[in-house]
Amino acid sequence: MPRRNGGPRRPSVTDVAKEAGVSVGTVSNVLNRPDSVSPATRARVEEAIEELRFVRNASARQLRSGEITTVGAVVLDIANPFFTEMARGIEDRLAQDDHTLMLCSSDEDPEREARFLRLFEERGVRGVIATPSHGSLNGLLALRERGTDVVLLDHTSPVPDIGSVAVDDVGGASLAMNHLLDLGHTTFVFLNGPLTLRQCVDRRDGVIATLTSRGFDPAEALVEVNLDALNADAADAAVHRWLAETTERPTAMFCANDFTALGALRALRDCGVSIPGDMAVVGYDDVIFASMLTTPLTSVRQPMHTLGWTAADMLLRESEPGRSRQVEFEPELVVRASSGSAI
C-alpha cells in the first residue's frame, strides 16, 4: 500500500507532521486523543491533514495497536435471501460498535470456505461467523483452537466453547402441522428435500412428532414425497408424478421450503386442484415473494435478521463470561390465503 495505484506515495503521518511543523507523536495524538493536544496545534495538524488529504493506513495501525474492527462471515449462498437477511442483521449489530463486515459465499464448497477462513485469519479479524457447509466443522474448530473467535449460524454448535445461533426446525414443522390440524385436516402430504440436509431431517421429525402427539398414525395420515433438491422445478415434477398415481388425495400439503411450495402450487393448479379449496398449502422460510403470489402463501418464518444480529452480538461479547452460548430461536407461522379457513 505504500504507493497510490499508479500514482505518488500516499501521505503518511510523517508528511503531516512535517507540514504542520510538529512531531509524529503529536499527529497521532490528534488522530487518537485530540483532547490531549492544545487547540492551536490541533488546528494546525488538522489543516495539514486536510491539505495533504491524509488518510490513515489501517494496516500499520492494526499492526502496531492490534485494533481490530473487522468481522468475517461465510454464508452458504449469497444469492439466497435467507442468508442476505442474516447478513444485514450481522451488519446492523456490528455498526453499533463501529465494526464492519467482510462477507463471503462458500457456495457449500468446503474448499472455498477454507480459503476464506484462512484469509480472515491472516487478516486478524475480530472473529468469524459461519454457516458451516457439509463436513466443514473441523476447519472452524481448528480456527477457534488457534485463537480466533467463532460463532456458528443456522447450526447448533457441537462444542461448548463455540457459540451458535440456530432456529428450531422441529418446532417450525410443528407450527405448520398444528395449523393444518387446527383447520380440521386429517390427511397430509409432506413434500420434503433430501435427508442429508439437517433442516429436512429436523422438519420431518417435527411433522411425525406433531401428528403422533395429536393422535394420528403417521403411517396412515401422512404421505411423504421426497425431492432430490429443494427447488421449484423438482417440486413441480414430483407433484405432477404423484398426482397422476394417487387415488385418495390428502387435503393438506406441507412443503420443506417456499421454493418447493411454489413448484407444488404450479403443478396443483396445472392439474386443476384449487388452492386452498381442494388442497391447503404451507411453505417454509417466508421468502419475499411468498406474500406476493396469486394466492399468498402461508409459511413458517424464521427470524433471519435477528439470527444475524444475535450471532454478531455474541461474537462482540465473546470475552464476557458465563453467558448462554447456544441460542435457539423459535420460528413463527405467517398465515395467508393458501391454507384457507377451517374446513
96 Cβ partners below 8 Å, 6+ apart? none
Q: Which residue of 172, 193, 263, 340 would you call a contact of a second copy, by CB under 8 A?
A: 263
Which residue, 38 or 319, is less far from DNA as judged by CB?
38
d(CA 206, CA 176): 9
Torsion angles phi and psi, residue 160, rounded to 5: -70, -30
Which of 5, 8, 53, 64 binds DNA (CB under 7 A)? It is: 64
The item of DNA, a second copy, none sharing an interface with residue 31, based on CB under 5 to 8 Å by kind, is DNA
Nearer to DNA (CB atom), residue 40 or residue 244: 40
CA 266 remoteness from chain centre: 28
Q: Which residue has the cell 441460542?
A: 327
Comparing CB distances to a second copy, the nearer of 195 and 288 is 288
Exactly one of 18, 52, 61, 334 binds DNA (CB under 7 A); which one? 61
CA distance 243 to 231: 18
Give least dist CB 111 to a second copy, A: 12
Using CB under 7 A, which of 28, 131, 157, 338 touches DNA?
28
Q: Is 148 in the site for DNA (CB under 7 A)?
A: no
Residues 6+ apart with CB under 8 A from 340: 183, 275, 276, 277, 280
The residue from 31, 78, 119, 209 that contacts DNA (CB under 7 A) is: 31
Q: How many whole angstroms separate alpha carbon 297 and alpha carbon 283?
A: 7
Which one, 54 or 309, has the nearer CB to DNA? 54
Shortest Å, Cβ 181 to a second copy: 27
146 lies in the site for DNA, by CB under 7 A = no
| H-only helix segments in 183-231 | 198-213, 218-221
